């Protein structure tokens, strides 16, 4: 996005980076069927996991990010799973999944503690009392090590999808052709 003015810069963050252990957490994980408490670590049994932290359901970046991820279909090319995380409630996630045709399950964290745990909390100007994760993506290996991390340094910001795809190509196995 090219703009002829400066956008908001976010302060430095001590978020997990490559080689760090991704902090574990348990939150309701919402699918189009139901939600139940699920831990991050329990999702790492088989394949690397892409954790996508995104602005609350209904904000346009949420739609843009998930549209882009759907168009790129990383799961069609690479052995990995994708999950989302926002502060929206399970009910909002259910609607978002249905209306936007999202394939990924979504963690619900209205208290924003996961973002605090990851040091990516973003206090929203003009919405007193509401904070959410900065846009961020973490590629987490099956041993819970972060292999790639991108965290927004300004607001608004969108994941660098090409760079992310390079990271997936480096760290994830290709799916066999024809699947």
Partner 1 sequence: MPMSDTDDTTPITLYRLQACPFCERVVRKLSAYDLPYTSRFVEPMHSDRNAVKRISGARTVPAIVDENTGVTMSESGNIVEYLDKTYGGAD
Task: By CB under 8 A, name the binding residues for partner 1.
Answer: 28, 33-37, 90, 94
How far apart, in whole angstroms, are the C-alpha atoms of residue 122 and residue 131?
5
For residue 94, the Cα-to-chain-centroid distance in whole angstroms is 17
| Nearest-angstrom CA–CA distance, 86 and 28 | 11
In whole angstroms, the minimum distance from the beta carbon of 36 to partner 1 comes to 5
Query: Is 102 buried (19+), middle (13-18) or exposed (0-12) by CB count in 10 A?
Result: buried
| Kind plus residue range of the DSSP H or E element containing 97 | helix 90-100
Of the pair 35, 138, the CB lying nearest partner 1 is at 35
Closer to partner 1 by Cβ: residue 16 or 84: 84
Nearer to partner 1, 105 or 135 (CB): 105
Q: To the nearest whole angstrom, how small is the minimum distance from the Cβ of residue 33 to partner 1? A: 4
The least distance separating partner 1 from the CB of residue 41, rounded to whole angstroms, comes to 16
Q: Give min distance, CB of 121 to partner 1, in A.
A: 26
Q: Judged by CB, which is closer to partner 1: 28, or 84? A: 28
What minimum distance in Å lies between the beta carbon of 87 and partner 1?
18
Pick the closer one to partner 1 by CB: 55 or 90.
90
Gyration radius of the chain over CA positions: 16
Q: How far apart (Å, rounded) are the C-alpha atoms in residues 169 and 157?
A: 23
């Amino acid at each position: 996005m090219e703009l002829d003015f400066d956008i908001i810069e976010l302060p430095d963050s001590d978020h997990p980076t490559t080689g760090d252990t991704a902090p574990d957490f348990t939150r309701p994980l919402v699918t189009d069927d139901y939600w139940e408490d699920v831990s991050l670590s329990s999702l790492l049994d088989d394949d690397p996991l892409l954790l996508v932290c995104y602005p609350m359901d209904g904000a346009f970046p949420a739609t843009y990010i998930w549209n882009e991820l759907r168009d790129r279909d990383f799961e069609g090319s690479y052995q990995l799973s994708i999950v989302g995380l926002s502060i929206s409630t399970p009910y909002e996630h259910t609607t978002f999944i249905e209306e936007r045709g999202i394939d990924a399950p979504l963690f619900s964290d209205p208290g924003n503690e996961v973002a605090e745990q990851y040091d990516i909390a973003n206090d929203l100007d003009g919405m007193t009392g509401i904070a959410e994760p900065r846009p961020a993506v973490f590629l987490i290996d099956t041993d819970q090590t972060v292999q790639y991390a991108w965290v927004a340094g300004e607001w608004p910001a969108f994941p660098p999808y090409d760079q992310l795809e390079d990271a997936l190509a480096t760290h994830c196995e290709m799916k066999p052709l024809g699947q």
